[in-house]
């Protein structure tokens, strides 16, 4: 007996108000969102890229051309666009630079994939073609990479040129030689470590960006108390997070009933005695400098002054943690067992002036890596962008010290990879070759965007570079100052191999993920309870 087919309306599986996009509609939604985000940031790419002003609801303003900063600040509703934001954040965390490039490359890969999908090529064929192309591109990049780890002077020179290339697309481009030297000197102090906590930034308005400098040691933005010693050599530092303000009655959650003011005076005297005992315990550690995260009231401060101990109060949490790191000490809260406390050490503590502000400088710290970059500039926005720019350069350099392979920049690396991918496409039969060719076009789009942003004829420049690479000139790239094809080796335009390889693999993976999507289900918005 044949069971009759159900002829009624389709059953509604999803919860009420849940939206669903399927097939072509879902793919279109993903591609449009991702490409819109790519178009948002691509005008910031390259040495002649433009800046964006980001204004928050509270009126705070950020002026930047850093891709990660822009993408983090933008509220996005499109799921595919959020994937690009995530790869940009990962690039920023892992490498520090290339955040705009990775987003643009992923966007261009999706643009090429859209054409292939419109030609009725299956998404899985596009994905497999992209994988083959990415492997060929990374192999070509690795073959062209140079490694000068054995020669320290050559490595230092490479780091300087990488810093200059990184900073050339930032606010600091006009003083990139000065800041590149600061960045290299700071990173070489780390002796191969990628922990940038040893490098501190102090931002002071006033002066020019070129007045910025690298100070060896740690600077605390505090001033010394009245009558304190202004200079201490061979300092033994106790770093604490403890209340030092109980020289007045503080009894919370209790009622104290007394029959005269004399009794109140006795309670105050007991509190003061307890505080003096605590101060004596601190002195018993054999220190000559006491740094506390919390306030130090007048009586304890006078006690420390009488005993020749420099007392620094209200050092913020970041300052206390960083000071403990660079002086080799520990942050303590109790003082009953001096033998268990690890003190910080430095050669000299003195009061100094930066602009019109007094600061405390800790020189010759136990951690020799410690240093402070003092940034000067006209306003807060310039200083914030200068810090972001220099932080990107420091991240790239610290990675390059450990992974010292370098490649030529200026679009040279992308053209090199595109040539290798084009050569691969000629050997692949079937529709996959179309996806491989699309990958090569996406790679060539990166130097084209750089040329467009500088106001040059991108089509002409890319054609000349392609011809040069076909003839075997692997050093040909965009001379951004003259708008011509130049030799990147002679112009000293270098980039980190790790940055480029990470950019290609991250962008490819993100593009593959978005291409494979054929269904988008959005949860119902949460209803406010009655």
Catalytic residue numbers, as ranges:
66, 99-100, 392
Burial class of residue 271, CB neighbours in 10 A (0-12, 13-18, 19+): middle
Tell me the helix, strand and coil percentages in the chain, rounded to 5.
50, 20, 30
Q: Which of helix, strand or coil describes residue 447? A: helix
Q: Which of helix, strand or coil describes residue 346? A: strand
Q: For residue 408, what is the enclosing H or E element?
A: strand 405-408
Residues 6+ apart with CB under 8 A from 37: 71, 76, 78, 81, 84, 85, 103, 107
Q: Which segments of 455-528 are extended strands (E)? A: 476-479, 484-487, 494-496, 519-522
Q: Which residues pair with 174 in a beta bridge?
A: none
Token output for 54 = 């980001």
Q: For residue 37, what is the enclosing H or E element?
A: helix 23-41
Residue 464 and residue 484: Cα distance in Å, rounded?
9
Specify the DSSP class assigned to residue 148. -
CA–chain centroid gap for 386, Å, is: 12
Burial class of residue 54, CB neighbours in 10 A (0-12, 13-18, 19+): middle
Token output for 36 = 């819109």
Residue 148 and residue 408: Cα distance in Å, rounded?
14
Q: For residue 68, what is the enclosing H or E element?
A: helix 67-73
- Residue among 444, 449, 495 nearest 95 (CA): 495
Question: For the chain, how far is it from start to end, CA to CA, in angstroms?
Answer: 52
């Amino acid at each position: 007996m044949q069971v009759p087919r159900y002829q009624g309306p389709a059953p509604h599986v999803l919860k009420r108000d849940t939206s669903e996009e399927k097939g072509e509609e879902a793919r279109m939604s993903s591609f449009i969102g991702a490409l819109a985000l790519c178009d948002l940031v691509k005008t910031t790419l390259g040495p002649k890229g433009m800046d964006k002003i980001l204004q928050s609801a509270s009126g705070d303003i950020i002026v930047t051309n850093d891709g990660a900063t822009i993408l983090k600040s933008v509220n996005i509703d499109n799921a595919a666009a959020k994937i690009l934001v995530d790869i940009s954040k990962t690039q920023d965390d892992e490498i520090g630079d290339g955040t705009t490039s990775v987003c643009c490359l992923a966007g261009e890969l999706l643009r090429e994939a859209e054409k292939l999908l419109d030609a009725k090529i299956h998404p899985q064929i596009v994905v497999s073609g992209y994988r083959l192309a990415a492997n060929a591109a990374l192999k070509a990049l690795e073959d062209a990479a140079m490694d000068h780890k054995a020669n320290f002077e050559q490595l230092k020179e490479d780091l300087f040129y990488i810093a200059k290339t990184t900073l050339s697309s930032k606010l600091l481009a006009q003083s990139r030689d000065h800041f590149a030297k600061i960045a290299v000197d700071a990173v070489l102090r780390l002796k191969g470590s990628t922990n940038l906590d040893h490098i501190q930034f102090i931002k002071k308005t006033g002066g020019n960006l070129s007045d910025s400098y690298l100070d060896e040691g740690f600077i605390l933005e505090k001033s010394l108390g009245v009558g304190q010693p202004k200079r201490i050599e061979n300092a033994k530092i106790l770093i604490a997070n403890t209340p030092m303000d109980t020289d007045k009655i503080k009894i919370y959650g209790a009622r104290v009933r007394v029959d005269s003011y004399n009794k109140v005076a006795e309670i105050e005297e007991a509190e003061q005695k307890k505080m003096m005992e605590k101060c004596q315990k601190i002195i018993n550690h054999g220190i000559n400098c006491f740094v506390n995260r919390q306030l130090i009231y007048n009586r304890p401060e006078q006690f420390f002054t009488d005993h020749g101990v420099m007392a620094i109060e209200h050092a913020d949490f970041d300052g206390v943690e960083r000071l403990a790191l660079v002086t080799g000490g520990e942050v303590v809260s109790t003082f009953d067992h001096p033998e268990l406390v690890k003190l910080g050490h430095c050669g000299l503590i003195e009061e100094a002036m930066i602009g019109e502000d007094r600061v405390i400088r800790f020189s010759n710290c136990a951690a020799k890596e410690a240093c402070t970059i003092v940034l000067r500039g006209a306003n807060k926005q310039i200083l914030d962008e200068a810090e972001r720019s220099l932080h990107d350069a420091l991240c790239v350099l610290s990675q390059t010290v450990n992974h010292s392979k370098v490649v030529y920049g200026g679009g040279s690396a992308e053209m090199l990879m595109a040539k290798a991918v084009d050569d691969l496409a000629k050997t692949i039969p079937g529709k996959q070759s179309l996806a491989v060719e699309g990958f090569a076009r996406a790679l060539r789009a990166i130097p084209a965007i750089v040329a467009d942003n500088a106001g040059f004829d991108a089509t002409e420049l890319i054609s000349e570079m392609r011809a040069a690479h076909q003839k075997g000139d692997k050093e040909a790239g965009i001379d951004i100052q003259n708008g011509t094809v130049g030799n990147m080796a002679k112009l000293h335009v270098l980039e980190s191999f790790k940055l480029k390889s990470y950019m290609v693999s991250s962008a490819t993976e993100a593009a593959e993920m978005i291409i494979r999507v054929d269904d988008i289900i959005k949860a119902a918005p949460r209803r406010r309870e009655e």
